[in-house]
Chains A and B, each alone.
Chain A
Amino acid sequence: MTLDVQTLINEAAHGQIRAAARLMTLAENAGTRLPELYVGLDRWRAARMVVGVTGPPGSGKSVLVDRLLEASRTKAPDRRLGVIAVDPSSPYTGGAFLGDRIRMMRHATDPMVFIRSVASRGQAGGLAACVQSMVRIMGLAGCSVIFIETVGVGQSEVDVAFVADLVVLTLAPGQGDSIQLLKSGLFEAADLFVVNKSDQPGADLFSRQVLQTLQMRQGAACKRPGVHLVSAKEGRGIADLLQSLERSCAGNQEAWQRRRREAVMQEIRSLILEEMRDRMIRLLADEAVADRDIQLVLHGERTIPTIAEALVDDLVAKERARRTLV
Chain B
Amino acid sequence: MSGTFTASQATDPSSQPHPPRRILIGKVGLDGHDRGAKYIAHVLRDSGYEVIYTGIRRSPEQIVETAVQEDVSAIGLSLLSGAHKLLVKRVMDLLRERGAEEIPVILGGTIPPQDLPMLTEMGVAAVFTSGTSTRTILDTLDTLLTPSPKGS
* A interface list, Cβ under 8 A from B: 1, 17-18, 21-22, 24-25, 28-29, 31, 89-99, 101-102, 105, 108-109, 114-117, 119, 121-123, 278, 281-282, 285
Nearest opposing residue in chain A for B58, CB measure: A105
**Total cross-chain contacts (CB, 8 A):** 118
Q: How far is the CA of A281 from the CA of B10 in the complex (A)?
A: 12
Does chain A have a CB within 8 A of B48?
yes
Residue B36 interfacial (CB < 8 Å): no
Q: Is the CB of A94 within 8 A of B70?
A: no
Is B86 interfacial (CB 8 A cutoff)? Answer: no
For B100, give its contact among A1, A18, A89 (CB under 8 Å). A18
Binary interface profile of B, 16-43, with partner A (CB < 8 Å = 1, else 0)? 0001101000000000000000000110
14 contacts between A and B (CB under 8 A): A18-B98, A18-B99, A28-B19, A89-B10, A89-B50, A94-B5, A96-B20, A97-B41, A97-B53, A98-B50, A101-B70, A105-B62, A108-B58, A108-B65
* Contact call A116/B50, Cβ cutoff below 8 A: no
Q: How many residues of B contact A (CB 8 A)?
A: 42
Q: Is B61 an interface residue (CB 8 A)?
A: yes
Task: Digitize B68-110: 1 where CB-to-A-CB distance is under 8 Å, 0 elsewhere.
Answer: 1111000000000000000000000000001110100000000
Interface of B is mostly: mixed
**Residues of chain A within 8 A of B48, CB atoms compared:** 93-95
3 shortest A-B CB distances, which residue pairs? A94-B5, A122-B10, A95-B45
A117 lies within 8 A of B70 (CB): yes
Which of B11, B12, B59, B71 touches A21 (beta carbons < 8 Å)? B71
For the complex, give the distance between the alpha carbons of A115 and B65 in Å.
Answer: 10
CB-CB under 8 A from B70, the residues of chain A are 21, 101, 115-117
Interface residues of B in 129-149 (CB under 8 A from A): none
Q: Which residues of A contact B55 (CB under 8 A)?
A: 102, 105
Chain A residues contacting B52 (CB-CB under 8 Å) are: 98, 101, 117
Which residues of chain B are near A96, meaning CB under 8 Å? 20, 45, 50-51
Q: Which of B42, B62, B98 contacts A108 (CB 8 A)?
A: B62
Q: Which residue of A lies closest to B44 (CB)?
A: A95
With A18-B98, A29-B19, A116-B69 known to touch, is A98 a contact of B51 (CB < 8 Å)?
A: yes
Residue pair B10, A121 in contact (C-beta under 8 Å): yes
Within the complex, the shortest CB–CB distance from B84 to chain A, in Å, comes to 21
Q: How many Å from the CB of B106 to the closest CB on chain A?
A: 17
Bound CA–CA A115/B42 (angstroms): 22
B98 to chain A, nearest CB (A): 7
Is the beta-carbon distance between B50 and A95 smaller than 8 angstroms? yes
